Amino acid sequence: MKTTVTVTWMGATYQINTRDTQRERLYRAEWLAFSGADDVLGARTLEDAQRYAEHVLQSETFSKLRRERGFNTPAYKLLTVERAASNSSAQAFPAQWRIRIPDWGTTKHVILHELAHLICGPSVGHHWTFVRAYEDLVSRFMGAEQARGLRAAYKKYKVKRSPPRRMTDEQRAALVARGTAALAKWKSRKDAA
> Are 111 and 41 a contacting pair, CB within 8 Å?
yes
Q: What is the pLDDT of residue 2?
A: 66
> Are 141 and 56 a contacting pair, CB within 8 Å?
yes
Instruction: Flag residues of the chain having pLDDT under 50.
Output: none
Q: What is the pLDDT of residue 43?
A: 77
What percent of the chain stands above pLDDT 70? 96
Helix axes 108-120, 46-57, angle to 10 degrees: 50
40 DSSP assignment:
B
Q: What is the pLDDT of residue 69?
A: 81
Helix axes 108-120, 60-68, angle to 10 degrees: 40
pTM, to two decimals: 0.81
Q: What is the pLDDT of residue 9?
A: 76
From the list 147, 82, 94, the residue with the least C-alpha distance to 123 is: 94
